[in-house]
Amino acid sequence: MTIKSMHHIGMTVTDLAAAVAFFEALGLELEGKAHMEGEFVDGVIGLDGSSSDIAMMRTPDDRYRIEFSEFQAPQSIDGSSHAPINALGLRHVAFVVDDLDDTLARIKPHGAELVRNIETYQDVLRTCYVRGPEGILLELCEYFR
């Protein structure tokens, strides 16, 4: 048996509203919010007495989703959210955008910080890394058509 598809990527944040606002400005759509607690959730995630609020966001093409979780219990621990790109583990999420400059202008008021430069790779694309809320690292790519 093989994998049918990827369902979502999960990210834990301390400010769910700020994460949702940032990713809405980026262009993701809020699919829904929910409060999660109880034996079912504890059994899945392996944390007894957990309580969290989640927001599921999707790309406009409805292909990809990011689930953001803000825990009330147990308290979240620092997972080195500002680690550099060469640190082990999930480091960034990449998005294709129509207009890189416009996208950066829309997300800057929500705390986006350019990691260094916007670079052009051959005649293929313009790309950059951006830090969002809580150090979430994004790669934004604008392909030349």
Q: Where are the beta strands (DSSP E) in the chain?
A: 9-12, 29-37, 51-58, 65-73, 93-96, 113-114, 119-121, 125-131, 137-143
pTM confidence score: 0.91
Domains and CATH numbers, the chain: 9-73 (3.10.180.10), 93-143 (3.10.180.10)
Which residues, in sequence order, are bridge partners of residue 23?
none
* 10-residue averages of pLDDT along the chain (145 residues): 86 96 98 96 92 97 95 87 77 94 97 96 95 93 92
User: By the 8 A CB rule, do 84 and 56 touch?
Assistant: no
pLDDT of residue 106: 97
With 0-12 / 13-18 / 19 or more C-beta atoms within 10 angstroms meaning exposed / middle / buried, residue 89 is exposed
Q: What type of residue sits at position 107?
A: I
Q: What type of residue sits at position 48?
A: D
Q: Which two tokens stand for residue 101?
A: 């400059």
pLDDT of residue 1: 67
Which residues, in sequence order, are bridge partners of residue 127?
119, 141
Q: How far apart are CA 135 and CA 75, in angstroms?
A: 18
User: By the 8 A CB rule, do 40 and 17 touch?
Assistant: no
pLDDT of residue 89: 78
